[in-house]
Amino acid sequence: MRVLYTGSFDPITVGHLDIIRRISCKFDEVVVTVFNNKEKKYWFSIEERCEMVRGAVKDLKNVQVDFTEGLVVDYCEKNDINIIVRGLRAVSDYEYELAISSINKHLNKKLETLFLVASPEFSFLSSSMVKDVAEHGGPFEDLVPENVSENIYRILGRK
C-alpha cells in the first residue's frame, strides 16, 4: 500500500524524519511530497527542500520524494494514493489537520487521513522553531537531519 506524507519541509526536521521512518515500517511505499503553501515565506526553494528531504531519507528504500503545487487531493488522484499520513504534536495541530482532512474527504471520498502522534521527544519541534533558533545563533544541529545543517548555515551566511 502506498501512502502520502506531505509538508513544506522548510526545513525538514528530525521530527518529520521520525514520522517518515515510522510510517516506512508500516507501509509498502511512502511518497514524501514537498508542497508550496502560498501563504508561507520560504527560506529554501522547492528544489532545495526536495534535495534536503532526499538526503535525509536516502537510507529508506521504500521512500520516494516528489514535489507539487496545488491541491493534495489532485496529487493523490494522479498518483493513485488513497491514504495521507499527518503527524500531530498537540491539540492545536489536530484542529487544523481535522479541517484539512475534512475538506480533502469532501473533495475525494476515497481519500483517508491517518494521524500519527509525534514521538514525545519531538512534540515541541517545528521548522519555524528551528529557523528561529538558528537565526538567533542557538544550537539547532540536533533538531535537523545532518545534511540540513549546512544548508541552514549557507542561508544564514555562517560557518
How much is the pLDDT for 67? 94
Q: Quickly count: other Cβ atoms within 10 Å of residue 103's Cβ.
A: 12
User: Which residue out of 2, 54, 89, 105 is catalytically annotated?
Assistant: 89
How much is the pLDDT for 90? 85
CATH T-level fold of 2-156: Rossmann fold (3.40.50)
> pTM for the full model?
0.94
User: Which residue out of 40, 78, 106, 154 is catalytically annotated?
Assistant: 40
Break the chain into its structural domains and give their ranges: 2-156
Average pLDDT, the chain: 94
Task: Let me know if 80 is exposed, middle or buried by CB neighbors in 10 A (0-12, 13-18, 19+).
Answer: exposed
Told to judge if 89 belongs to the known catalytic residues of this protein, a careful annotator would answer: yes
| Tens-place pLDDT, residues 22-79 | 999 999 999 999 998 777 889 999 999 999 999 999 999 999 999 988 899 999 999 9
Quote the percentage of the chain above a pLDDT of 90: 88
Told to judge if 105 belongs to the known catalytic residues of this protein, a careful annotator would answer: no
As a whole number of angstroms, the distance between CA 81 and CA 2 comes to 6
How much is the pLDDT for 111? 97
